[in-house]
Amino acid sequence: MSILIDEKTRVIVQGITGRDGSFHALSMREYGTKVVGGVVPGKGGSEVEGIPVFNSVNEAKDKTGAQATVLFVPARFASSAMKEAIEAKLEIVVCITEGIPVLDMIRIQESLEGRETRLIGPNCPGIISPGKSKLGIMPGAIHKPGGVGVISRSGTLTYEVVYELTRSGMGQSTCIGIGGDPVVGTGFIDLLQLFQEDSETQGVVLIGEIGGTQEEETAEFIREYFTKPVVAFIAGRTAPSGKRMGHAGAIISGNLGTAEAKIKAFGEVGVPVASSPGEIPGLMKNLLAS
């Protein structure tokens, strides 16, 4: 099985006529994703290599039965594009766009309250259920269907960890990049709840990084509720205090958000923390065998 998406998920691409939108829409379709349309205001009636383009998300949903959308929209328009998708009651909204202001994301979080739409991102690589479907920019070739779920705050580290898992013979059920901004739509705990309920996910890899307290809160959730093996990796161990490193959310303030604090929190609940991505497959295999 998988979580969030599968081979039946019908997907639209907001911003499909742009350079990135068109490239990745075709890449997703080539992978097997059911890309049923695109949305660009003012360009309705056109198409991108056979994919119809609509003026609005509501129109695209009505005409195609779309359930999910991927946003390749400039930061200044991304908030409005997400809100449009949420109001259209799409099940999954994946926002690849980076550089969205924090205040915009706070308003988007408010608009999600009481709705069934799940937002992944922003500033994320998306979702892939290997062999079934991908929404976003993850390279499909390095993935392999299997029983390990992956949740990550980092894009490129996701690829490296997945490559190590695949190379060791361990496939993945679903891999999700949640984004590295201070405010994101879906966090570690939300997705662990879904992996807990997925009968074919045998274990989960968490890729965290410095900044915020999400990993510490996740460790407590694992202690109380999560019953499957978990292996973690924390990026940014050598980052100096007070410096933002790469992601907008990766900033240490005092003793909050340090790699040491996150590693300690996971250790206290029995989650092994790899010192490098290459250690992750071995740690997971040991947990699954025990």
DSSP per residue, 240-280: PTT-B-SSTT-B-BTTBT-HHHHHHHHHHTT--EESSGGGH
Least confident of 46-55, 135-144, 207-216, 253-262: 253-262
What CATH number corresponds to the domain at position 181? Answer: 3.40.50.261
Residue 49, pLDDT > 80, answer: yes
Please tell me the distance from the alpha carbon of residue 73 to that of residue 2, in angstroms, as a whole number.
Answer: 27
Residues 245 and 143 in one domain: yes
Q: Are residues 70 and 40 in the same domain?
A: yes
Same domain, yes or no, for 243 and 159? yes
For residues 32 and 78, state if they share a domain: yes
Residues 225 and 275 in one domain: yes
The answer to whether position 20 is within a domain reads yes
77 token code pair: 């328009």
Q: Which of 10, 29, 247, 262 is catalytic?
A: 247
Same structural domain, 176 and 282? yes
Tell me the residue range of the domain where 242 lies. Answer: 139-289
Clarify whether residues 194 and 281 are in a common domain.
Answer: yes
In a domain, 263, yes or no: yes
CATH number at residue 86: 3.40.50.720
**Same domain, residue pair 150 and 113:** no
Picking from 25-34, 75-84, 204-213, 277-286, which range would have the lowest pLDDT averaged per residue?
204-213
Q: What is the pTM of this model?
A: 0.94
Does residue 126 fall inside a structural domain?
A: no
Residue 4 in any domain: the answer is no
143 is catalytic: no
Q: What is the pLDDT of residues 95-125, one digit of tens each?
A: 999 999 999 999 999 999 999 999 999 999 9
Q: With contact defined as beta carbons under 8 Å apart, do 92 and 70 qualify?
A: no
Neighbour tally for 283: CB within 10 Å: 20
Dihedral (C-alpha) 21, 26, 30, 34: value to the nearest 10 degrees?
Answer: 70
Residue 1 within any structural domain of the chain: no
Total domains present in the chain: 2
